[in-house]
Amino acid sequence: RELVVFAAIAALGGCESQLKAHTGANLKEGNTKQNLADALQIAIPLNGFPRTLNALAVVNSFK
C-alpha cells in the first residue's frame, strides 16, 4: 500500500517533501531504492519525464 501512495504522490508533482516522507516509509517497510526506481520507471508514460526525474532525485537522496 505504501508503494501505491509513493507512486501517486510522484504523479502529483511538486510534492517532494511528502514524497521524501513516503520514500522513508517505503524503505522502512522493506522496499528497496531499486523497487521505488522500478515503480517510477513503469509510470514514466503517465507521469512524464520531469516528474519522474524529480522523484528519482528524492529516492537517490536516501543512503
Q: Round to whole Å and give the CA distance between 11 and 7.
A: 6
Q: What are the φ/ψ torsions at residue 20 (nearest 5 degrees)? A: -65, -45
What is the span of the domain harbouring residue 53? 2-60
CA distances from residue 12 to 7, 34, 63 in whole angstroms, order as listed: 9, 21, 24
Asked if 25 and 61 count as a contact pair (C-beta separation under 8 A), the reply is no
Residue type, 20: K
pTM: 0.91
Output the pLDDT for position 63.
Answer: 83
9, three cell numbers: 504522490
The owner of cell 524529480 is 54
Q: How many domains does the chain have?
A: 1
Per residue in 3-52, pLDDT (tens digit) is 999 999 999 989 999 999 999 999 999 999 999 999 999 999 999 999 99
Output the pLDDT for position 52.
Answer: 96
